[in-house]
Amino acid sequence: MKPYDIIFIGQLGTGTIIPFKGSPFIEQASPVLFAAIAASCLGKKIATVTRVSEGEEYLLGPLKTAGVDLFVERGETMRYRVVFKTADIDQRQPFLIKGANQFVIDDIPPFEPCLMHLCCVGAPQSQLELMRGLRARGFRLSVDMQGFVLQPDSETGALHPKDVHEKKEILSIADFVKVDALEAKMLTGADALQEQANILEGWGSAETIITSSRGALAQRAGKATFAKFTNASTRGRMGRGDTLVGSYLQHRLDHSVEDSVQFAAALTSIKIESPGPFRGSLDDVLERMGKSLLGEISAGDQKR
């Protein structure tokens, strides 16, 4: 089997988006789709391990168009709903309408060890077991803590943030940890991004990426860099964090933390302006990087 630079693993899904004072619409998207497509624009060798229901293979189309190699298991397609109750795009209520089959270590093809990003949906313990198995096979790991923190109500399906008892082991196993500001608050109890990053690093996170409405903070070895978003609209809010981490990881393979978070914030800013996954070009991102603001996090940017 040919080698890959990054492999993304997660379920495909479709969502009903109910915007504030807007008409509902269906979005064919999921974390693995947003992240893998964002990682595909620099010519890296990218693959995705995913699941799709019989008759819904069309959901794989955007990944194929982006040149992502696919390893597809037959299984349930995830269904979700997201309700934006106010004009604040970060105040939303997600619902898991229909879950998808979880992944276990035996589902992973015999890849050569590389960087693997987990953006799965499932019980924390099962995801941790998968991480342990992948680490034993020699993979470097990146993990989106959203899949651990957001857990569905058994009756309503409403996804609410919950603390994760296994968080310190998860952080110590992963090479990269992505989390958004609200999830980081649930895990750490802290409000400020810098304090959240410091606590997560103290618990074992080697490299931490925290997204917020204003931008993204990346920290390694006690040094943090914050890059602001420069989007002119928020029509493509869904998939913001997944796009950020996918683009960050592929750039980070051969660039510094500082360069990578600036690149990822610029690419994500473009994506936020349009629904669906990133459809821009590398030239678009480089042009936008000239407008990005990079540096130490300010008091104003500490806000979610």
Tally of CA atoms within 13 A in the half-sphere of 235 that contains its CB: 10
Statement: residue 27 has pLDDT above 90: no
Residue 71: inside a domain: yes
Is the CA virtual torsion 233, 234, 239, 241 positive or negative?
positive
Statement: residue 100 has pLDDT above 90: no
Residue 1: inside a domain: no
- Which pLDDT value is given to residue 99? 77
- Which pLDDT value is given to residue 166? 94
HEC assignment per residue over 29-79: CCHHHHHHHHCCCCCCCEEEEEEECCCCHHHHHHHHHCCCEEEEEECCCEE
The more confidently predicted of residues 141 and 99 is 141
Query: Phi/psi class of residue 137: alpha, beta or left (left: φ > 0; alpha: ψ in -120 to 50)?
Result: alpha
Is the CA virtual torsion 192, 197, 198, 203 positive or negative?
positive
Residue 75: inside a domain: yes
Distance between CA 225 and CA 217 in Å, rounded? 6
**Would you call 296 exposed, middle or buried from its count of C-beta atoms within 10 A (0-12, 13-18, 19+)?**
exposed
- Which pLDDT value is given to residue 173? 96
Statement: residue 304 has pLDDT above 60: no
User: What CATH number did the domain enclosing 100 receive?
Assistant: 3.40.1190.20
Classify residue 158 by its DSSP letter: B
Residue 90: inside a domain: yes
Average pLDDT score, the chain: 92
Residue 281: inside a domain: yes
Distance between CA 44 and CA 59 in Å, rounded? 22
Residue 2: inside a domain: no
- Which pLDDT value is given to residue 89? 75
Over residues 236-246, the mean pLDDT reads: 94
The more confidently predicted of residues 301 and 101 is 101
Distance between CA 141 and CA 107 in Å, rounded? 16
- Which pLDDT value is given to residue 301? 59
Distance between CA 282 and CA 104 in Å, rounded? 35
- Whether the pTM exceeds 0.75: the reply is yes
Residues 186-210 have pLDDT tens digits of 999 999 999 999 999 999 999 999 9
Identify the H or E element spanning 130: helix 124-136
Q: How many domains does the chain have?
A: 1
Statement: residue 303 has pLDDT above 70: no
Residues 275-285 have pLDDT tens digits of 899 999 999 99
- Which pLDDT value is given to residue 298? 56
Statement: residue 293 has pLDDT above 70: no
Is the CA virtual torsion 159, 161, 166, 171 positive or negative?
positive
Distance between CA 250 and CA 232 in Å, rounded? 25
Distance between CA 134 and CA 253 in Å, rounded? 19
Task: Tell me which residue range forms the domain holding 46.
Answer: 7-302
Q: Which of 12-26, 118-132, 194-208 has the highest mean pLDDT?
A: 194-208
- CA torsion 153→156→159→165, rounded to 10°? 0
- Which pLDDT value is given to residue 295? 53
